Amino acid sequence: MSHLTDLPAWAAIPVCILLLLGSAVTLVGSMGLIRLKTFYGRLHAPTLGASAGTILICLASMLTFAVLQNRWIVHEVLIIVFVILTTPVTLMLLGQSALYRDRIEGSDDVPRKSTGEQPDTSGMDI
C-alpha cells in the first residue's frame, strides 16, 4: 500500500467519496435484479450500475492515477464511452427478444402486435 500514502488529502477524500458512491449505486442496481418482480422491470436495473456506477468509479481511478503520476491519465474515458454506448444496445436487444418469446408463447402480460398475428422479424435489427 505504499503508493496510496502519497495521495494528498485533497485528492484522497474525493476518491473515497466517488468510490463509495459508485459501488453503492451499482449495488442498488444489482439489488433491483433480485427485488423487482417481472423481467421487464428487471430490465431497468443494470442501467444504474452501467451508467452512474461506471462513471463514478472511472472518475475515481482517473483522479488517483492523475495525482499519483502527476500527469493527465484519461484512458478510463475509453471504458466510460464504451460502456455507455454498448449497454443500451444490449438491453434493447434483450427486451426485443423477451417480447418476441413472450408473444410466441401467447403470454397475456405483453401487448399484442397491432397488425397481424405473426411476429415479423424485419423491424428487429435496430
Residues in 59-98 that interact with another protein by CB under 8 A = 60-61, 64-65, 68, 73-79, 81-98
Give the shortest CB-126-to-another protein separation in angstroms. 6
Smallest distance from the beta carbon of 106 to another protein, in angstroms? 15
∠ Cα 22 86 126 (to 5°): 145
Which amino acid appears at position 110 of this protein?
Answer: V
Applying CB under 8 A, the site for another protein has a residue count of: 91
Q: What is the dihedral of CA 22, 95, 85, 42, to 10 degrees?
A: 0
CA Rg, the chain, in Å? Answer: 21
In angstroms, give the least distance from the CB of 69 to another protein. Answer: 9
Residues 10-69 that bind another protein (CB under 8 A): 12-13, 15-16, 19-20, 22-54, 57-58, 60-61, 64-65, 68
- Cα of first residue to Cα of last residue in the chain, in angstroms, is 47
Residues 101-120, interacting with another protein (CB under 8 A): 101, 110-111, 113-115
C-alpha cell at 10: 485533497
Among positive and negative, which fits the CA dihedral 21, 32, 48, 72? Answer: positive
Minimum Å gap between C-beta 67 and another protein is 11
